[in-house]
Amino acid sequence: MIQKQCKVISNKLIAKDYYELVFNWESSFNPKPGQFLTLRPQGLPLLRRPFAFSSFKDNRAAIIYKTVGKATKGFSSLTEKDSISILGPLGSGFDLPKKRPVLIAGGIGLGPMLFTAIDFAERGLSPILVIGARDKSFIPKLELGKGVEVVIATDDGSLGFKGNVTQCLKTEYNNILNNCEILCCGPHIMLKACHELALEYDIECQVSMEEMMACAVGACYGCVVETTHQEKYKRVCKDGPVFNSREIVWI
Amino acid sequence: MIQKQCKVISNKLIAKDYYELVFNWESSFNPKPGQFLTLRPQGLPLLRRPFAFSSFKDNRAAIIYKTVGKATKGFSSLTEKDSISILGPLGSGFDLPKKRPVLIAGGIGLGPMLFTAIDFAERGLSPILVIGARDKSFIPKLELGKGVEVVIATDDGSLGFKGNVTQCLKTEYNNILNNCEILCCGPHIMLKACHELALEYDIECQVSMEEMMACAVGACYGCVVETTHQEKYKRVCKDGPVFNSREIVWI
Amino acid sequence: MDLSVKIRDKIMQNPVGTASGTFGFGEEYGELIDLSQLGSIYTKAVTVLPREGNPLPRLTETPYGMINSIGLANTGVKGFLENKVPFLNTIKNCAVIVNVAGSTEDEYTKVIDMIDSVDSVWGYEINISCPNVKCGGLAFGTDPVQVERLTKEIRKRTNKPVIMKLTPNVTDITTVATACEIGGADAVSCINTVMGMKIDINKKKPAIYQKTGGLSGPAIKPVGVAAVYRVSKKISIPVIGLGGIMNWEDAVEYFLAGASAIQIGTANFIDPNTPIDVLDGIKRYMTNNKLEKISDFHSFIE
Amino acid sequence: MDLSVKIRDKIMQNPVGTASGTFGFGEEYGELIDLSQLGSIYTKAVTVLPREGNPLPRLTETPYGMINSIGLANTGVKGFLENKVPFLNTIKNCAVIVNVAGSTEDEYTKVIDMIDSVDSVWGYEINISCPNVKCGGLAFGTDPVQVERLTKEIRKRTNKPVIMKLTPNVTDITTVATACEIGGADAVSCINTVMGMKIDINKKKPAIYQKTGGLSGPAIKPVGVAAVYRVSKKISIPVIGLGGIMNWEDAVEYFLAGASAIQIGTANFIDPNTPIDVLDGIKRYMTNNKLEKISDFHSFIE
Ligand SMILES: Cc1cc2nc3c(=O)[nH]c(=O)nc-3n(C[C@H](O)[C@H](O)[C@H](O)COP(=O)(O)OP(=O)(O)OC[C@H]3O[C@@H](n4cnc5c(N)ncnc54)[C@H](O)[C@@H]3O)c2cc1C
Ligand SMILES: Cc1cc2nc3c(=O)[nH]c(=O)nc-3n(C[C@H](O)[C@H](O)[C@H](O)COP(=O)(O)OP(=O)(O)OC[C@H]3O[C@@H](n4cnc5c(N)ncnc54)[C@H](O)[C@@H]3O)c2cc1C
Ligand SMILES: Cc1cc2nc3c(=O)[nH]c(=O)nc-3n(C[C@H](O)[C@H](O)[C@H](O)COP(=O)(O)O)c2cc1C
Ligand SMILES: Cc1cc2nc3c(=O)[nH]c(=O)nc-3n(C[C@H](O)[C@H](O)[C@H](O)COP(=O)(O)O)c2cc1C
Ligand code: FES
Ligand code: FES
């Protein structure tokens, strides 16, 4: 990991409330799918904000972020002229799956799962990428290249399957579920549903967790989740953010 | 006084570190020379910042400010699209002089003295405006119209008289000093020198004082100066900012 | 929706007040907002004799806060009666609460004796953060024994609501609050300012004359919320919350912490319309969350 | 220019340290900055037995500050000796100071007995803000009598520098500081976090599991500066200042207030390079102001 000022290459609205921020990343630290970074907000919000890498290639990296509060609204006005303090890459990233990967992305989990999908496709792993959203306005136009099978599920049925991602999988991809591995990122409730799906079908499930972070480098023990390990609490930033779903005590 | 959001009309660099911010001022409260306003900074600095009106005409008002710290640096990036929270007009303003007015401006005192000069010229009072600065780079191009006699003094002699404003007056305008009234705004040390000049020549002297302000409306008693009145401390924001120099206990 | 707040036998029309020392005696801000919409105005501290206040500078800014040491500058109780009461008499609907300060018990009770008959005085807020001459310079408000005695003395003099204003600069604010309750107070307000200091590194001098002063503003909000939470769990009289309230969200936070009313202090300086905006926001939140009265806020947090 | 700081009979190469709990045991930040440039590293608290720490959430953000309630999560003194000391042994030049915590006197002294022979342990910082089982849940650090006794007990066990870390959540921090000095401490550090609370108004729940927690960051800087000023006027052992230091200007403010060294806490989270930048800034300020040594800062403010 490294902390550096990076030049903004572009910062575009790609779907309702969602921006893609592309920036220069010249460093010997190459981000892996599932790893994240922290961005320093300008002015008021004090703490750095964590975001997962959504792509990395040729000295360019990106994140996809949703505008939810002060910091993200501030980021949305960044332009090419600006530079921004980035600390990363952080955390562990996804393990390479042993079976066909089913990647599940909900809401702000889209960025890391896109990165993972493209990476896995390049490795010939034929990933299925399931994207869940409230309605189609939250889903950006995607250019994933070949090798990724994209499935969309919206709560209101305005695009793709009508229902949530687990319902979608059970209905339309039931045949695959017995012989795949789930990797997912999104709202806690979705991760929990994915975990339960994995238990039901007796398959592996990697979940990318989220917790409030202060240091994001493993020093403060602020971002812990409860696990089944003897050492009860594990740090999302350093021991994760990706965990085997069976390690987590789900609440 | 009134608090309102005002549209920025322009915000231009007019001399080294000095900006003129022109904004829409549609209100039944017409600012007088010597009165001030407070601007709410964006984001971090908490307290509103006081600035003297530098002009007012046809629903347009302006201030001239120097970039010194966080708030003023923030203001310097305001553009036409922005609007800004203004509270004003505040304080008492200058009294009309009974003798020929010699207006003395040092540094950030330029704005209010320009306003005063133009106003007095319109009233046919033939003001002399003496502007002091470190060097010529700090002095903007002035378009004062007729009726104002402008005198410039720079510490390094790069424009006008070489020396400070009181030296300038004593050297070049000695004949006037016995029969005029001084009105001044600028650094404390200059105001004190003006007061002493007034004592020496036995003339009236109005000084516009500066103190750190919180409310700027007279409610908090934070911005006081020591005076010769029985009620020792007077509020700069409400009882001033303009005082008769003989009211002030100079330190 | 019922926004009223009952203290002793009196009703404030709504829970939004303006904090002592930040709102003068209402006059200055009366030009900017409609005072009759406020639940209450807490006046600048009134002392028996006039006080000129501390030497300058009295104010400085800190990271997202400010420090003041005005030093109880006021014209004394006689000046109050002559110059301030006439204006206070004109304020409609809103409860005018006089903030009382002193250095001895006597000084407090004298103020109350002298103004208790004024009709437009709704009640008292007793500022026990003042340095106590008998208490070695520490504030009255730091010693539960003295606080209880002072409260009792004041209680004897008046039938109007008595609100004791607590300082956060103590080891355990709940013991002081308990002393107030036992002494017969009708409510407590918390918090007064937090002790703080700033140094000007260019001048190599303290930024204010008194060196240390009172920190207020958003920076101290968490300190105020913690105090209100802890105090309201401990005593059963109403708690009035303040410290860093800048908007309605902050006010709601205080209500959820256990406050029955709130005060806006430093925020008046930043945006004089804050009290009105806060009141509107509280109403919207109550509607959206189906809360009928302020005490409904108190059931969520154990 | 002499940047060294003497505590007891030992010398820190410079006055910039990293605060306990914000810098782990140095390892994580060792990837980002050159630890050998630091004056000191104060470790995360070490307790006799392993502690899992508090339930989550443990962190929240506040106006220009943050609240934490990590709860002394650590692997215990055995874990420290096995897993942390090997790395600490590799750190050059910089003084490694172990932050020690406990709920009884015994728990403190046991930790010291178990690590006093480790060469790479330069000294101790004693965290007396922990809730004290014998003191009715209030922190040790709030009672001068207990603080003096604890300090004496610790003093008996070690010849290494003992720094007592003071909590600001007391009525008079100078009496606690005096107790430390009488007890034989070599220095005090102040301040630990300020008690604070935040409530999530959407969830209607406290933002952290423990409800109240420790406020840190820029918001509390004035509280820290006031504490350092008052304490350093009262006692004659060195005072180590911390609380909200974000940049060199803040550090200089602490030195002018009376600090002989400083610690960077929350700022490490915002910009891991802060300690290095602060050190550079201090040097520039000293050059520009013709200050030769840190104690030269102490002559400006009475
Ligand atoms: C490992 C990780 C990866 C993430 N990846 C993405 C991503 O790729 N795209 C995306 O849009 N969002 C991502 N998030 C969430 C993102 O960090 C928050 O949305 C953002 O911090 C909100 O900041 P704000 O000031 O705009 O909103 P606020 O109003 O401050 O906060 C809104 C919510 O965001 C969360 N949050 C705020 N600050 C932090 C913090 N310092 N650490 C963690 N959570 C915080 C809290 O749950 C808070 O309630 C990720 C979070 C984590 C922990
Ligand atoms: C009545 C009055 C009229 C003024 N008129 C002008 C003007 O016409 N043009 C101009 O350039 N400047 C004027 N000033 C000064 C101006 O207010 C400060 O330069 C400005 O507030 C600095 O803010 P900052 O955040 O940029 O700098 P900071 O770094 O915050 O402060 C720099 C200095 O500005 C002063 N200052 C900061 N905040 C306040 C405050 N709330 N109230 C008063 N002083 C403060 C302090 O002396 C401080 O040391 C006036 C001040 C007063 C009191
Ligand atoms: C300039 C100023 C003057 C104050 N004067 C008084 C006072 O006279 N009596 C009092 O009880 N509190 C006084 N206070 C404290 C406030 O009433 C309030 O308790 C404190 O500022 C915290 O609230 P805030 O953060 O909303 O400002 C004063 C505060 C400020 C900022
Ligand atoms: C996440 C976190 C954990 C902390 N853990 C400890 C600790 O274990 N022991 C201790 O003495 N202080 C601890 N502190 C307090 C800091 O060392 C420091 O005293 C406080 O944060 C104020 O400094 P700051 O504002 O620079 O952060 C912790 C602070 C934070 C933010
Ligand atoms: S955020 Fe500090 S340990 Fe994870
Ligand atoms: S700034 Fe409040 S009285 Fe002048």
Residue of C199, C212, C215 lying closest to D253 (CB–CB): C199
D209–C contact, CB cutoff 8 A: no
Q: Give the list of residues 6+ apart from residue A223 with CB closer than 8 angstroms, or none.
A: A211, A212, A213, A214, A216, A235, A236, A237, D58, D59
C255–D contact, CB cutoff 8 A: no
Q: Does residue D280 form part of some domain?
A: yes
CA nearest ligand 3 atom 1, residue: B220
Q: How confident is the model at residue B146 (pLDDT cuts 50, 70, 90)?
A: confident
Structure tokens at A210: 């989220």
pLDDT over 90, % of chain D: 95
Question: Do the chains contact at C24 and B40, CB–CB below 8 Å?
Answer: no
Local structure of B166: helix, strand or coil: helix
Whole-angstrom CA distances from D150 to B43, B56, D19 are 45, 69, 22
Whole-angstrom CA distances from D44 to B203, C262, D24, D56, D137 are 69, 38, 5, 18, 22
CA nearest ligand 3 atom 28, residue: C21
Residue of B217, B223, B232 lying closest to C28 (CB–CB): B217
What separation in Å is there between the alpha carbon of A243 and the centre of ligand 2?
Answer: 53
> How far is Cα of residue B41 from the mean position of the Cα atoms in its chain?
20
pLDDT of residue D130 exceeding 80, the answer is no
Q: Does residue C158 form part of some domain?
A: yes
Mutate to test the pocket of ligand 6, among B213, B227, B243 (most ligand atoms within 8 A of CB): B213
Separation between Cα atoms, residue C199 and residue C187, nearest integer Å: 37
pLDDT tens digit sequence for D75-101: 999 999 999 999 999 999 999 999 999
Q: Does residue D120 form part of some domain?
A: yes
pLDDT of residue C154 exceeding 90, the answer is yes
Best CATH choice for the domain A210-251 from the list 2.40.110.10, 2.10.240.10, 1.10.1660.10, 1.20.1290.10: 2.10.240.10
What separation in Å is there between the alpha carbon of C189 and the centre of ligand 6?
Answer: 24
Structure tokens at A197: 């799906």
What's the pLDDT at C135?
A: 65
Domain extent listing, chain B: 2-90, 100-208, 210-251
pLDDT tens digit sequence for D1-11: 999 999 999 99
CATH number (domain holding residue D128): 3.20.20.70
Contacts 24+ apart (CB under 8 A), B18-21: B18/B64, B18/B65, B18/B66, B18/B67, B18/B110, B18/B138, B18/B140, B19/B64, B19/B65, B19/B66, B19/B67, B19/B75, B19/B76, B20/B54, B20/B62, B20/B63, B20/B64, B20/B140, B21/B62, B21/B63, B21/B64, B21/B65, B21/B75, B21/B78
Tally Cβ neighbours within 10 Å of residue B126.
12
Mutate to test the interface with C, among D61, D62, D66, D233 (most CBs of C within 10 A): D62
Q: Does residue D116 form part of some domain?
A: yes
What number is the average pLDDT over the span B216-223?
97
CATH superfamily of B2-90: Translation factors (2.40.30.10)
Separation between Cα atoms, residue C34 and residue C38, nearest integer Å: 8
Mutate to test the interface with C, among D173, D193, D215, D225 (most CBs of C within 10 A): D225
What's the pLDDT at D260?
A: 98
DSSP code, position B108: G
Which value, to the nearest 10 degrees, does the dihedral of the CA atoms of residues A175, A178, A183, A189 take? 90
What's the pLDDT at B143?
A: 84
Q: How confident is the model at residue C140 (pLDDT cuts 50, 70, 90)?
A: confident
pLDDT of residue C159 exceeding 90, the answer is yes
Question: Do the chains contact at A221 and D66, CB–CB below 8 Å?
Answer: no
CA nearest ligand 4 atom 11, residue: D127
CATH architecture of B100-208: 3-Layer(aba) Sandwich (3.40)
> Which chain A residues touch B44 with a CB distance below 8 Å?
43-44
- For chain A, percent helix, then strand, then coil, each to nearest 5? 20, 35, 40
Q: Return the ligand 6 atom nearest residue B212 CA.
A: 1
What's the pLDDT at A145?
A: 81
Separation between Cα atoms, residue A46 and residue D65, nearest integer Å: 7
Q: Does residue C59 form part of some domain?
A: no
Ligand nearest to the CA of D67: 4
B211–C contact, CB cutoff 8 A: yes
Sign of the alpha-carbon torsion through A165, A168, A173, A178: positive
Q: Return the ligand 6 atom nearest residue B218 CA.
A: 3
What number is the average pLDDT over the span B39-44?
91
Q: Return the ligand 5 atom nearest residue A235 CA.
A: 4
pLDDT of residue C130 exceeding 80, the answer is no
Q: Give the list of residues 6+ apart from residue B112 with CB closer than 8 angstroms, or none.
A: B33, B34, B36, B52, B53, B54, B105, B185, B208
Q: How confident is the model at residue C134 (pLDDT cuts 50, 70, 90)?
A: low
Local structure of B25: helix, strand or coil: coil
pLDDT of residue D134 exceeding 80, the answer is no
Q: What is the pTM of this model?
A: 0.97
Instruction: State how many domains chain D has.
Output: 1
C32: domain range? Answer: 5-52+73-197+215-299
pLDDT over 70, % of chain B: 100
Nearest CA in chain A to B71: A43
Looking at the complex, report in whole angstroms how far the Cα of residue B222 sits from the nearest Cα belonging to chain C. Answer: 5
Counting as contact any 3 or more CB pairs under 8 A, the partners of D are: A, C
Q: Does residue C252 form part of some domain?
A: yes
Question: Do the chains contact at C57 and B212, CB–CB below 8 Å?
Answer: yes
> Which chain B residues touch A73 with a CB distance below 8 Å?
none
Question: Do the chains contact at C68 and B211, CB–CB below 8 Å?
Answer: no
> Which chain C residues touch D212 with a CB distance below 8 Å?
226, 229-230
Residue of C197, C198, C222 lying closest to D196 (CB–CB): C222
Q: Does residue C130 form part of some domain?
A: yes
DSSP string of C247-268, one letter each residue: SHHHHHHHHHHT-SEEEE-THH
Asked whether C281 and C249 are in contact (CB, 8 A), the reply is yes
Q: Which of C239, C222, C245, C186 is nearest to C18 (CA)?
A: C245
Q: How confident is the model at residue D275 (pLDDT cuts 50, 70, 90)?
A: very high
Active site residues of C: 130
User: Chain C: which residues have CB within 8 Å of chain B?
Assistant: 21-24, 28-29, 31-32, 44, 52-53, 55-61, 64-66, 68, 70, 73, 217-218, 266, 268-273
What number is the average pLDDT over the span C141-158?
95
Spans of chain A below 50 pLDDT: none
